[in-house]
Chains A and B, each alone.
Chain A
Amino acid sequence: MAEVETTGAEAAPREEARERRVRVVLVDDHRMFRTGVQAEIGRTDETGVEVVGEAADVDQAVTVITATRPEVVLLDVHLPGGGGVEVLRRCADLASDPAQPVRFLALSVSDAAEDVIGVIRGGARGYVTKTITGTDLVASIFRVQEGDAVFSPRLAGFVLDAFASTDAPPIDEDLDRLTQREREVLRLIARGYAYKEIAKQLYISVKTVESHVSAVLRKLQLSNRHELTRWATARRLV
């Protein structure tokens, strides 16, 4: 493989970020963590992220989200009052509002399969762990705002695992099976590649990578039958 030049690519997202603004609500029951995230991403002039509200439990979250109508919600998975899944359930109509959708990005310290798959199935647009760097988190927030899915390597691993068992009877293949290309993209994510690097590796545009990832997310939410069910049952997740 040839060495690909990387100059200029690094600066692009920050350039973008400065022009655009995104309104974010933080939902996490640890005040320290909210403060930390706020400090990390909340410098609006630099990052373009404006934290418009915070919540510490499910009821507060629903109230704050309804009141402020943010573009992105950073959602903790484990919350008092039913957890992130409950927030997603009660904000379902806000999330599907075509005019101004509220999008959810799960941000959790847990990378256990049941947590990850749970919130993704609940409608979160992505899942990142709390070890993520500030820059990556800002990039993820913008990606989610645009309607794309954000996959951490671990999440990609879970999805691949879920769809990997190909010995299942092929029912409704178009809907549930990942295409070869989608698998390839997921594999590269799991190997720790950034979207940009995947695009270079596969000689496709970043937009194409993003659309593949979104397709995977859609399939993940839809495929409540077959593989995923079987996978989850085998692991006693459902």
Chain B
Amino acid sequence: MPEAAAAPHVEPRPPRKLYRSSDGRWLGGVARGLAGHLGLPVIWVRLVFAGLFMAEGLGGLLYAAFWFFVPLGVGGVGDQRPPSLVSTETAPDGRRRLVARKPDRGQMLALLFMVVVAMVFIGSVDVGSGARVYFLPIVLVGAGVALVWRQADNARRARWVEVGRRRRTLTLVRTLGGILLVAAGVSGVFVLKGSAAHLGSVLQAALAVLVGITLLAGPYLVRMTQDLSEERLMRIRAQERAEVAAHVHDSVLHTLTLIQRNAENAAEVRRLARAQERDLRTWLYKPEGTGKDEEDEPATVADAVRRNAAEVEDKHGVPIEVVVVGDCALDERTSAQMQAAREAMVNAAKYGGEGGAVQVYAEVEGRTVFVSVRDRGPGFDPDSIPADRMGVRESIIGRMERNGGTARLRAVPGGGTEVELEMERVEKT
């Protein structure tokens, strides 16, 4: 088998490093990794390993060596492997990943296949009958070691891929199973050796050695775990920093560039700066995870007021200062009120935006929701609204009254107009 002979001699060149594949693997991902590295179909590599296994178990040893020395990676197989079992998908970060369609069935098949190969192997191996009795325990130990190693791979992989809670118990069971298998295999060797009578003293000696090693290596181990956790902490910090940097880059720097380009357009600059300030504030002061991808409708009065104000601010380029006291869930009446408030904000921004920021105040007190929108514009007389001006009459006053609330427009002492909207919340039954 020329390929098989060539396989172990392949020098992993730096640009194409050999990794074991963590996706869609049957056992250790060695075959997949090699196949990806050599550009061969996986099934070939697997067959080669199986064939070598027949040759006095060389394939098994080779496989174990690869498993032990080659690091685990993501991906690793080219496009040539049979598409029925695995397929590729391109991850958001651009890396190509492998997706196993039916991993369970694949693993079952692999297991069956390995059992058959092992049977053939046992049948074919003909060492002295004295050594033959040790065969079963050695197989047990090998299976246990394989189980635990594979588990360690999974633990490492869990850092890349989110693993659910359910799978954690499975992890424990697997590890325990592996340990039990190894223990059974080792004990089997002792028993078969005929020293079953000395099992007790052997165990004692083993225990003593273990305790001694723990005492000697313990401090180093503790030190190492501490260093590791510290290192992990630093890494988390670095990640956070990177995220902040990314955000600043994505939003702040881009906005600043835009501002530089629009330096003559004062209104545009102001709009950009306001929008950016609001965005950054939300990002800084809100608990993590929120404020980023919330595309859904607002659920509370405070949320709705803030969002409306932000939208009007962006659209009309007039700063809107929002103060919200208390909060409650939106119902149909308060939703109507929010629409009226939005209309009032639009009016204030359009006609009163010259005099400075528009001030919006919302208060939820008991069952009453009160919203006031004031500007410092030229002011206007409610009685003089022309009959054809539907904005105020219909969108604000009419809407409030249809929903059982009240709207008042008035001139403010000191200049400007104030719209007051008052609404009772829907009775909770």
Q: Interface residues, chain A, CB within 8 Å of chain B? A: 1, 3-4, 6, 9, 112, 153-154, 156-157, 160-161, 164, 187, 190-194, 196-197, 200-201
Which one of B323, B357, B363, B412 has the highest number of Cβ atoms from chain A below 10 Å of its Cβ? Answer: B323
Instruction: Enumerate the 7 nearest inter-chain pairs by beta-carbon distance, A residue then B residue, closest first.
Output: A192-B359, A157-B323, A4-B413, A200-B413, A197-B414, A191-B361, A160-B325
Question: In the complex, which residue of chain A has the Cβ closest to the Cβ of B287?
Answer: A236
Q: Mark B398-429, 1 if CB is under 8 A from A, else 0.
A: 00000000000011111100100000000000
Q: Are B361 and A187 in contact (CB under 8 A)?
A: yes
The docked-state distance in angstroms from the alpha carbon of A191 to that of B325 is 11
Q: Are B323 and A6 in contact (CB under 8 A)?
A: no
Which one of A153, A191, A194 has the highest number of Cβ atoms from chain B below 10 Å of its Cβ? Answer: A191
Q: Are A197 and B323 in contact (CB under 8 A)?
A: no
The docked-state distance in angstroms from the alpha carbon of A193 to that of B361 is 11
How close is B341's CB to chain A, nearest CB, in angstroms? Answer: 13
- A164-B326, A191-B359, A191-B418 are known; give 6 further A-B pairs, CB within 8 A: A1-B412, A6-B414, A164-B365, A190-B325, A192-B361, A200-B414
Q: Are B413 and A157 in contact (CB under 8 A)?
A: no
How close is B300's CB to chain A, nearest CB, in angstroms? Answer: 14
Asked if B372 lies at the interface with its beta carbon under 8 angstroms from chain A, I say yes
The docked-state distance in angstroms from the alpha carbon of A62 to that of B423 is 50
Q: Are B325 and A153 in contact (CB under 8 A)?
A: no
Q: Are A201 and B321 in contact (CB under 8 A)?
A: no
How close is A60's CB to chain B, nearest CB, in angstroms? Answer: 26
The docked-state distance in angstroms from the alpha carbon of A45 to that of B332 is 57
The docked-state distance in angstroms from the alpha carbon of A3 to that of B413 is 6
- Chain B residues within an 8 Å CB radius of A9: 414
Asked if B20 lies at the interface with its beta carbon under 8 angstroms from chain A, I say no
Of residues 343 through 358 on chain B, the ones whose CB sits less than 8 Å from some CB of chain A are 357
Asked if B62 lies at the interface with its beta carbon under 8 angstroms from chain A, I say no
Q: Mark B313-334, 1 if CB is under 8 A from A, else 0.
A: 0000000010111100000000
How close is B180's CB to chain A, nearest CB, in angstroms? Answer: 47
Contact among B325, B374, B411 with A192 in the assembled complex (CB-CB below 8 Å): B374
The docked-state distance in angstroms from the alpha carbon of A187 to that of B325 is 10
How close is B425's CB to chain A, nearest CB, in angstroms? Answer: 16
Q: Interface residues, chain B, CB within 8 Å of chain A? A: 285, 321, 323-326, 357, 359, 361, 363, 365, 372, 374, 379, 410-415, 418
How close is B123's CB to chain A, nearest CB, in angstroms? Answer: 69
Question: In the complex, which residue of chain B has the Cβ closest to the Cβ of A236?
Answer: B287
- Chain B residues within an 8 Å CB radius of A192: 321, 357, 359, 361, 374
Contact among A4, A112, A153, A196 with B323 in the assembled complex (CB-CB below 8 Å): A153
How close is B322's CB to chain A, nearest CB, in angstroms? Answer: 9
Question: In the complex, which residue of chain B has the Cβ closest to the Cβ of A186?
Answer: B325
- Chain A residues within an 8 Å CB radius of B324: 157
The docked-state distance in angstroms from the alpha carbon of A196 to that of B414 is 9
Contact among A160, A191, A194, A201 with B372 in the assembled complex (CB-CB below 8 Å): A191
The docked-state distance in angstroms from the alpha carbon of A199 to that of B325 is 22
Known A191-B374, A192-B361: A4·B285 in contact at CB below 8 Å: no
The docked-state distance in angstroms from the alpha carbon of A3 to that of B361 is 22
Q: Are A194 and B414 in contact (CB under 8 A)?
A: yes
The docked-state distance in angstroms from the alpha carbon of A86 to that of B267 is 39
Write 11 A-B pairs (CB below 8 A) sorted by A numbering.
Answer: A4-B413, A6-B414, A153-B321, A157-B323, A160-B325, A161-B325, A190-B361, A191-B359, A191-B374, A200-B413, A201-B413
Question: In the complex, which residue of chain A has the Cβ closest to the Cβ of B359?
Answer: A192
Q: Are A1 and B374 in contact (CB under 8 A)?
A: no
The docked-state distance in angstroms from the alpha carbon of A4 to that of B379 is 12
The docked-state distance in angstroms from the alpha carbon of A153 to that of B320 is 12
Known A153-B323, A191-B372, A192-B321: A1·B365 in contact at CB below 8 Å: no
Q: Are A1 and B359 in contact (CB under 8 A)?
A: no
The docked-state distance in angstroms from the alpha carbon of A226 to that of B324 is 22
How close is A8's CB to chain B, nearest CB, in angstroms? Answer: 12
Known A153-B323, A161-B326, A164-B325: A187·B413 in contact at CB below 8 Å: no
How close is B312's CB to chain A, nearest CB, in angstroms? Answer: 16
Q: Are B325 and A1 in contact (CB under 8 A)?
A: no
Q: Are A156 and B410 in contact (CB under 8 A)?
A: no
Q: Are A1 and B361 in contact (CB under 8 A)?
A: no
